[in-house]
Every structure is written in C-alpha cells, then in structure tokens.
Homo-oligomer: A and B are copies of this chain.
Amino acid sequence: MLSKKTQYALKALGYLAGKYGQGPVLISEIAKNKKIPIKFLETILLELKQNNVLESKKGKGGGYYLIESPKKTTLAQAIRLVGGPIALLPCVSINFYEKCKDCNEATCGLNKAMLQTRDATLKILEKKTLSELIDG
C-alpha cells in the first residue's frame, strides 16, 4: 500500500495536471478540493518542487504549477519522487533495493514471485501519465 504522503502527492499532481497552463494554483485550493491536510500538503509540494516537477510563485497571485506537460511524467516516476517504493519487497525494488538477510536471491522463491509482480505493476505505471489523473 502506498503511504499517505504518496497518495496525497498523486492527488495533488492530478489536480495540477487539470489546471496545467492556467497559472499558479493555491495550496489551499488543492487541499480543499482533494481533502488533504494543508500543512502536510505544503511539505509534499515543496518536495516536488525540489525534485523539479513543480514550480512555485510567492505572493499574491502565487501558487504551484507543473513545469512540464502532464504527459511527460509517468505515474511510476511520480510515485518514486516522493519516496514511494513500487515493489512489494525491498529485495525486488529498483530504487529502494535492500538485500535480504536470510536468502539467496538466485534460489529464493519469494524473490521470484515478487519480481514478477513488480514487473507487471511497472508495465502499467510506466505507461500511464499524470494526464490520466485528470477528473472527468
């Protein structure tokens, strides 16, 4: 299961995808529409900005907005940006890999099963983009 943080990030990105090209969007607007705790959302958006997905503008008329077209970012990329592993186990994670303490990956049946599910999941998440998160 994705963490709350990752879920909120995807929701927020989806909302911003729907407003792409229309200028900055207020944090408070995103929070209200997507029912996300505003202070938590602040830190998430800031992190997405530091990862060069979003840009922000301060002061009146400010807010956050997508730097690139929603079609340029895949869901797999978006999930990883906020620290969300996609694999079900660390030993089959590409970006959050950790070796198992107890098993030999070459012979471990669990590793094999989880590798297959990871590949199946990635096949989908690497095809879909933020543009598919737009409502309607």
A128 contacts the other chain (CB 8 A): yes
Within 8 A of B (CB), among A46-69: none
Question: Taking the full assembly, how many copies of this chain does it contain?
Answer: 2
- Residues of B near A96 (CB, < 8 A) are 1
CB of A2 within 8 A of chain B?
Answer: yes
Known contacts A1-B87, A101-B35; is-contact A124 B113 (Cβ 8 Å): yes
Contact A88 B128 (CB under 8 A): no
B residues near A120, Cβ cutoff 8 Å: 117, 120-121, 123-124
Q: How far is the CA of A136 from the CA of B116 in the complex (A)?
A: 18
CB distance from A133 to the nearest CB of B (A): 5
**Smallest CB-CB A-B distances: 8 pairs:** A120-B120, A35-B101, A35-B102, A109-B132, A109-B133, A117-B121, A1-B85, A34-B102
